[in-house]
Amino acid sequence: MPPETIGGRYEVQREIGRGGMGAVYLCHDRLLGREVAAKQLGGLPGESTPHLARALREARTSAALSHPNVVSIYDAVEEGRHVWLVMEYLPSRTLSQLTREEGPLTPARAAHVGAQIADGLAAAHDRGTVHRDVKPGNVLVGDGDLAKISDFGIARSVDDETLTQTGMVTGTPMYFSPQLARGLTATPADDVWALGATLYSAVEGEAPWPSQENSLALLVHIAEHAAPEPRQAGPLAPVIRRMMATDPEDRPSMTEVAHELRDLARAAQADAERTAVLPVPPPAPAVPEPATPTRPVAAALALPVRPVEPPPPGPDTGDDGASADRSRRWLLPLLGVVAAVLVVVAAAFVAGDLFGGDDGDPAADESDATSAAQRRSEDTPGSTAATNGSTPESTPESDPPPTTESSTDELASTSPEQFVTDYYALLPDDTRGAWALLSDEMQDEVGSYGSYQGFWRTVEAVTVDDTSVDSTDTVTVDLTYTTASGTESETRLITVQDTGDGPQIVGDQVAAS
């Protein structure tokens, strides 16, 4: 359960998002009388005090950045074992949600959104800060297409010491530059590459790389392949190509990117205004309906059939039999072609009647498959700036290989307490089975199966010491982790709900101490 007040100042009103890092709450700031969003930092099981200290330091560094296209961070509150990030509350959608709900953006609209994000990132670069996790899930789009970049949670100054987490990949691999994929230190050029990949996904409707079995395979693919060519970017394509150049020296600065994108957006707006004043041509005359009803035929098979006409008469040879024979030799093959076309049309139509046809968009299945991978790297839908900032990317990231249904079938009829106990019984050995018990939103927040698997590889054993459940099916579970460095205990709050595919874990956070 959330506290009633955070830091003695922020009154918790309601939950506005939930993910692997815990919940995000809409709060009322008693001191300044405004609405804010509070996000609990740290989320993967077993995170220790040094992790929270790093999150607090990075949050305070990011709070120093003030720009109209950057989500403002107001405060970082340390309470017990928790760090709360207090930030600007902005009703919005992530760019990944926007494209998922409305389809790919036009090049002009993508340039308008991208120019704003480039402005915010250029300001960060001027201060010596690299974002390191630019992706569609961290681009917020509000009313009037006002865009802001969120989640500087893993940003750091260029001269900061490197801080890593064993077994984890910091950032979203799908939008890594080739240099980051090889493990090199992040620079502003890597943010430029990631923004180019983000704009690619906005206009193409899909991430730049195919989903891989795990994060490591994806990193190898990025490091060894040139960026894909955008196909629907129009005038935006040359800018995206330069931003995603393999050599960082060939990429423009973020300030140059902002100028180029702004010029493109303005030119497109001017073209749209000129087009709007052009006279509209009168509608074409309606085609009269046929007198006899006809059965509809698929457009691809509706081939026109012309009446067969005899060939023009040749010179009069006086040999009527030979002339007729020549006509028949010319006519019969043509009739055979026409008959074959009609048979194909009729067969296709009958097959549609017999098997019910396919009313869906052929691209929809591919889109659904891609979005399932993307949801493992995006924010929870309907969230605000705070929500969006708390989640790793809604884009096709690493999914676990297919697993059998035996694990989920065995857990389908258990109580929430037993479900949680059985979930931890799968770990750390059967990460595939355990991953399948997380809801889509939970998988979105963890980011990828590769990251999830990477964490559990650092754990030798996990023991459930005690469980209890409340009326909301939230299970309080006491755990002991065994690692190479010893044992560590913690209490977590696990929320179990029936998502339609059976019971799944929809919430997971560290219990307040």
Provide the CATH number for the domain around residue 142. Answer: 1.10.510.10
Same domain, 66 and 175: no
Same domain, 84 and 99: no
Same domain, 54 and 136: no
pLDDT band at 4; cut points 50, 70, 90:
confident
Is residue 316's pLDDT more than 70? no
Same domain, 70 and 106: no
Q: Which of 219-233, 235-249, 488-502 has the lowest mean pLDDT?
A: 488-502
Same domain, 113 and 83: no
Convert the pLDDT of each residue in 365-401 to its tens digit. 344 434 433 443 444 333 444 444 444 443 344 445 4
Same domain, 48 and 176: no
Same domain, 81 and 100: no
Q: Pick from 249, 273, 297: which residue ends a domain?
A: 273
What does the alpha-carbon distance between residue 221 and residue 208 come to, in Å, rounded to a whole number? 11
39 is annotated as contributing to ligand binding: yes
- The larger pLDDT score, comparing residue 116 to residue 217, is at 116
Same domain, 168 and 265: yes
Mean pLDDT of the chain: 74
CB atoms < 10 A from the CB of 498, how many?
11
244 burial (CB, 10 Å; 0-12 / 13-18 / 19+) is buried
Same domain, 121 and 256: yes
Is residue 157's pLDDT more than 50? no
Same domain, 19 and 124: no
CB atoms < 10 A from the CB of 415, how many?
14
**What proportion of the chain, given as a percentage, has pLDDT over 70?**
62
- The larger pLDDT score, comparing residue 324 to residue 107, is at 107
Q: Which of 60-64, 201-205, 436-440, 481-485 has the lowest mean pLDDT?
A: 60-64
pLDDT band at 406; cut points 50, 70, 90:
very low
Alpha carbon distances (Å) from 107 to 17, 238, 306, 367: 31, 12, 43, 20
On the CB side of 134, CA atoms within 13 Å amount to: 32
Whether the Cβ atoms of residue 386 and residue 16 lie closer than 8 Å to each other: yes
Question: Which range scores top for mean pLDDT: 72-76, 312-316, 317-321, 361-365?
Answer: 72-76
Is residue 114's pLDDT more than 90? yes
Tell me, yes or no, if 133 is annotated catalytic: yes
User: In total, how many domains does the chain have?
Assistant: 3
The pLDDT of residue 381 is 39
The pLDDT of residue 118 is 97
pLDDT band at 136; cut points 50, 70, 90:
very high
In a domain, 316, yes or no: no
The pLDDT of residue 327 is 46
In a domain, 262, yes or no: yes
Same domain, 112 and 182: yes
What does the alpha-carbon distance between residue 238 and residue 247 come to, in Å, rounded to a whole number? 16
The pLDDT of residue 500 is 80
Whether the Cβ atoms of residue 252 and residue 243 lie closer than 8 Å to each other: yes
In a domain, 494, yes or no: yes
Convert the pLDDT of each residue in 333-357 to its tens digit. 555 555 554 554 454 444 444 344 4
CB atoms < 10 A from the CB of 496, how many?
26
Give the pair of three-digit tokens for residue 155: 């940003």
Is residue 42's pLDDT more than 70? no
The pLDDT of residue 359 is 40
pLDDT band at 254; cut points 50, 70, 90:
very high
The pLDDT of residue 376 is 38
In a domain, 411, yes or no: yes
In a domain, 67, yes or no: yes
Convert the pLDDT of each residue in 44-75 to its tens digit. 454 555 556 666 666 666 777 889 999 888 88
Q: Phi and psi at residue 286, in whole multiples of 5°?
A: -70, 140
In a domain, 359, yes or no: no
Q: Pick from 273, 296, 325: which residue ends a domain?
A: 273
Alpha carbon distances (Å) from 456 to 44, 171, 404: 10, 18, 20
Is residue 166's pLDDT more than 60? no
The pLDDT of residue 205 is 92
- The larger pLDDT score, comparing residue 396 to residue 276, is at 276
The pLDDT of residue 471 is 75
Is residue 510's pLDDT more than 60? yes
- The larger pLDDT score, comparing residue 455 to residue 491, is at 491
The pLDDT of residue 326 is 47
Largest CA distance in the chain: 114
- The larger pLDDT score, comparing residue 512 to residue 452, is at 452
Q: What is the pairing mode between strands 461-469 and 474-483? A: antiparallel
Same domain, 475 and 503: yes
What does the alpha-carbon distance between residue 251 and residue 190 come to, in Å, rounded to a whole number? 9
Q: Pick from 42, 68, 88: which residue ends a domain?
A: 88
The CATH number that applies at residue 81 is 3.30.200.20
Q: Which of 29, 119, 126, 133 is catalytic?
A: 133
CB atoms < 10 A from the CB of 429, how many?
11
- Stretch 301-322: mean pLDDT: 45
Element holding 187 (H helix, E strand):
none
* Domain containing residue 479: 401-435+459-510
Residue from 402, 403, 401, 399 nearest 450 by CA: 399
The pLDDT of residue 50 is 55
What does the alpha-carbon distance between residue 423 and residue 413 come to, in Å, rounded to a whole number? 13
Task: Give the global pTM.
Answer: 0.53
- Stretch 431-445: mean pLDDT: 86
What does the alpha-carbon distance between residue 354 and residue 342 come to, in Å, rounded to a whole number? 18
Whether the Cβ atoms of residue 151 and residue 392 lie closer than 8 Å to each other: no
- Please give the span between the terminal C-alpha atoms of the chain, in angstroms, as a whole number: 12
